[in-house]
Amino acid sequence: MYKFLFQFHSFGLKEIELVVLKYALCVGWIDLASYGAIMKAVTYLKDIENTRASKFPAVFYGLGSAYYKLNRYVFSFISVRSFSLVQK
Tens digits of per-residue pLDDT, 32-50? 989 999 999 999 999 888 8
Say what the pLDDT of residue 13 is: 76
The answer to whether residue 8 sits within a structural domain is: no
What is the mean pLDDT of the segment spanning 69-75? Answer: 80
Enumerate residues 6+ apart whose C-beta is below 8 A from 59.
Answer: 23, 45, 48, 49, 52, 53
User: Is 3 a member of any domain?
Assistant: no
In a domain, 6, yes or no: no
Closest CA to 41 of 53, 50, 32: 32
Closest CA to 78 of 59, 52, 55, 60: 60
With respect to residue 43, please indicate whether it lies within any of the assigned structural domains.
yes
Confidence at residue 23, expressed as pLDDT on a 0 to 100 scale: 93
Give how many domains the chain has, as a whole number: 1
> Is 9's pLDDT higher than 60?
no
Residue 5 domain-assigned?
no
Nearest to 38 by CA among 51, 46, 29: 29
- Output the CA torsion sign for 63, 69, 70, 75: positive
| Residue range(s) defining the domain that contains residue 52 | 13-87
